[in-house]
């Protein structure tokens, strides 16, 4: 079929899709997704569960999503998993391009129509070096942290957005020392006594640096947040994606109970 208009252009020796090319790519992906869904439905009528599941998650979700995917694969070994772990901006880009079946994040965008389901709490806590002067305190007022230096996630991350909104509500302005793009880097910086930080409690499981940090008992913490599993509201979930979403809701509750 002749489109009748250029699909790409070369700028500075790089190939870029034109608007028509981008629309053709979206159409091709949609056709491929519909065909995959059809094959899965046929397999489903035969009692089979096989095919490919594409999931994109924000980086903090890597602390629990692989465990949930592992138990899912144990039940359905013929399903192939494609897992993308990115920062929030990267996941949003994939969401806008409709590249995956499901997306897991703590702060879904408000400018996209989504099918959105909360499946697990994501409490944010204040951490400090285990040797910090406030580590043994049973209660710390927020304003007592005014002289502390903060190490926070990068602007645009779900954790940072929730933290900034919390500080704004409480009219608290933290003294920022560092902005880092990973929880591991933040925990190492806190363990090195460079400052205190606000992180997801899920980021505090099973890493060596975690023994060198402690959760501070700060008033009004933890900040209440949640994990969401979303997909564009106009996209029909494949049978495999539906099964995984049900598995996620059931297994996340059991996983959380083991962590409490």
Confidence class for position 111, pLDDT limits 50, 70, 90: very high
Answer whether residue 177 shows pLDDT above 70: yes
C-alpha–C-alpha distance, residues 229 and 232, integer Å: 11
Closest Cα to residue 78, out of 111, 99, 38, 47? 47
The C-alpha atoms of residue 145 and residue 67 are separated, in whole angstroms, by: 35
Residue 100 to residue 94: CA distance in whole angstroms? 7
pLDDT tens-place string over residues 29-57: 666 666 666 665 655 554 446 688 999 99
State the pLDDT at residue 48: 41
What structural domains does the chain harbor? 45-121+226-259 (3.40.190.10), 124-215 (3.40.190.10)
Instruction: Please give the average per-residue pLDDT across 150-179, as a whole number.
Output: 95
Residue 46: predicted pLDDT:
45
DSSP letter assigned to residue 133? T
User: Across the chain, which distance is largest between two alpha carbons, in Å?
Assistant: 72
pLDDT of the residue at 13: 67
The 10 Å CB-count burial string (b at 16+, else e) for 202-231 is bbbeeeebeebbbebebeebbbebebbbbb
DSSP H stretches of helix in the chain: 19-45, 65-75, 88-96, 158-169, 183-191, 239-259
> How many Cβ atoms from other residues are within 10 Å of residue 150's Cβ?
21
* Measured distance CA(88)–CA(226) in Å, rounded: 15
> Which range among 14-28, 167-181, 238-252 has the greatest average pLDDT?
167-181
pLDDT at position 224: 94
Reply yes or no on whether the pLDDT at 108 is more than 90: yes
Instruction: Quote the CA–CA distance of 184 and 60 in Å, as a whole number.
Output: 10
* 186-225 residue pLDDT tens: 999 999 999 999 999 989 865 545 678 999 999 999 999 9
Burial of 141 (0-12, 13-18, 19+ CB in 10 A): exposed
> What would the pLDDT profile of 54-68 be if each residue is shown by its tens digit?
999 999 999 889 888
Is the separation of the CB atoms in 81 and 257 below 8 Å?
no
Cis status, amide bond into 222, omega within 30 of 0: yes
Average pLDDT estimate for 161-171: 96
DSSP state of 238: P
């Amino acid at each position: 079929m002749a489109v009748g208009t250029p699909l790409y252009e070369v700028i500075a020796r790089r190939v870029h899709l034109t608007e028509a090319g981008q629309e053709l790519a979206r159409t091709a992906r949609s056709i491929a997704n519909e065909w995959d869904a059809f094959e899965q439905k046929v397999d489903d009528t035969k009692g089979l569960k096989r095919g490919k599941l594409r999931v994109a998650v924000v980086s903090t979700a890597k602390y629990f999503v692989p465990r949930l995917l592992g138990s899912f694969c144990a039940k359905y070994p013929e399903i192939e998993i494609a897992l993308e772990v990115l920062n929030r901006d990267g996941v949003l880009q994939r969401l806008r391009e409709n590249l995956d079946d499901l997306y897991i994040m703590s702060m879904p965008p408000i400018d996209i129509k989504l099918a959105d389901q909360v499946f697990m709490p994501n409490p944010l806590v204040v951490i400090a070096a285990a040797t910090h002067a406030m580590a043994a305190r049973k209660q710390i007022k927020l304003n007592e942290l005014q002289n502390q230096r903060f190490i926070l996630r990068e602007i645009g991350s779900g954790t940072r957005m929730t933290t900034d909104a919390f500080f704004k509500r409480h009219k608290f302005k933290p003294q920022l020392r560092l902005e880092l793009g990973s929880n591991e880097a933040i925990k190492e910086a806190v363990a090195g006594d460079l400052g205190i930080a606000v992180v997801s409690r899920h980021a505090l499981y099973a890493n060596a640096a975690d023994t060198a940090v402690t959760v501070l008992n700060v008033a009004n913490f933890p900040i209440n947040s949640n994990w969401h599993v979303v997909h564009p509201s106009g996209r029909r979930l494949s049978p495999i994606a539906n099964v995984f979403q049900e598995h996620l809701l059931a297994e996340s509750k059991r996983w959380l109970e083991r962590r409490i």
